[in-house]
Amino acid sequence: MPLNILITAGPTREPLDPVRFLSNRSTGRMGFALAQAAAEAGHAVTLIAGPVALPTPPGVRRVDVLTARDMLAAVQAHLPQADALIASAAVADWRPEACSPTKLKKAQMAGVIRLVPNPDILKTIHPQKGSRTFVGFAAETGEPDAEAARKLREKGLDLIVANDVTAPGAGFAHDTNRVTLLYPDGRREPLPLLPKLDLARRLIALLPTLR
C-alpha cells in the first residue's frame, strides 16, 4: 500500500553572521537516496532538505530549509499528512547564541563563541507520533551501537540506522554506506557495505513491516 513518507536530509547551517556559520559534513546523499527509493516504490514523498548541492529525485516534493529550527518547523507542518518519518538529516545540536546582521570584523570577534542548544526534532515531535512509523539515524564514531540504542529508546523510534562515519566507504561524502539496524525489541542487524541507493531501497522495503 502506498505511504505518505516524510524524509529529512542533509546538514543544517547555524549562522554566526551573513558570512560564517556552524555546520557539519553531511552531503544529504543518504536522505536523497531514500527519497528516490521511496518514489520508485510508488510512495508519496516529501523531502525536507538542508543546504545541499543535489538534484531533487523525480516525483519527490522538496522543501528547502537552512537551520535546525527551520527544519523543525517544516517537519511539524508536514507531519500531519505523513504515515512515516525518516529522519536522516544531520541536524546541528548547537547554534550561536547571537547572529550578527552584518559581517563581524576580525577585530570585533571574541575568542569564544557562546552556543545554545537547538531543539531535538524527534523528541519535540514525539507526542504527535501516534500510529506513524519513525525511523532515525545515528552517525557516530568508534562503536555506534550503544549511542544508537540510547537514541532509539529516548526518542521512541521504530528503527534506528547506526553507522561509524570513520569506517572505510561509510559515512559522509561517500556513495556507499555500512550500517547496523537496531530495533526496539533488541534485535541488531548488521548490513554489508552497500551503495546508498541499494541501502535506501532495503530501508524503504522495511517500512510496512514496522507499522
Q: What's the one-letter identity of residue 170?
A: A
Of the residues 24, 118, 163, 177, only one is catalytic, namely: 24
Cβ–Cβ < 8 Å for 8, 90: no
Measure the CA–CA gap between 43 and 139, rounded to whole angstroms.
26
Measure the CA–CA gap between 141 and 164, rounded to whole angstroms.
5
Is 177 a catalytic site residue?
no
Q: What's the one-letter identity of residue 85?
A: L
Cβ–Cβ < 8 Å for 165, 143: no
- State the cell numbers at 208: 510496512
Measure the CA–CA gap between 137 and 73, rounded to whole angstroms.
20
Give residue 160's region: left, alpha or beta (phi > 0; psi -120 to 50). Answer: beta
Write the DSSP symbol of residue 169. T
* Residue 18 neighbours by CB under 8 Å, 6+ apart: 100, 101, 102, 103
- State the cell numbers at 4: 505518505
Residues facing residue 136 across a β-bridge: 87, 160
Residues designated as active site:
24
